[in-house]
Amino acid sequence: MNSDELCQVYRCFCDKTRLRILNLLSDGALCVCHLQEILGETQVKVSKHLAYLKSHGLVESERRANWMIYRITKETNPILENNLKCLQDLTSEDPTFKTDLKHLHEMDTSAACCPSTN
């Protein structure tokens, strides 16, 4: 990883909404509609943040019918992995991250908008 790639990762971590998205995606793949509901943000705002994260190689997407499902990229990126571990440590201290994860675990993410692709 070169310094430009390092800066790309850190730019993604410089926004609270993107941190919240990455924290939620650390738990597994999610549909935009689930992220939107948990974050309490518009679909446009969530999609713009996801597009930013995707363009910088931190998340990837998959289309399922009319919905986009996002997950942390499968490519190994040691800087991203180490920072996600740090972010997970923060979740035990920051009320916003704790609340986000609580909402995620209470939510039915097997809803019709996310049919499995078998």
Query: What pLDDT is attached to residue 78?
Result: 79
List Cα–Cα distances, 91 to 18, 20, 24, 33, 116, in angstroms.
14, 10, 10, 22, 29
Using alpha carbons, select from 62, 21, 25, 66 the residue that is nearest to residue 41: 21
Question: What domains lie within the chain, and their CATH numbers?
Answer: 3-106 (1.10.10.10)
Contact (Cβ atoms closer than 8 angstroms) between residue 115 and residue 35: no
Contact (Cβ atoms closer than 8 angstroms) between residue 84 and residue 72: yes
Model pTM score: 0.84
pLDDT along the chain (118 residues), means of 10: 76 89 92 94 95 92 88 82 80 87 86 52
Q: State the Cα angle at 36 between 106 and 99, rounded to 5°.
A: 45
Beta bridge pairs of residue 60 = 71
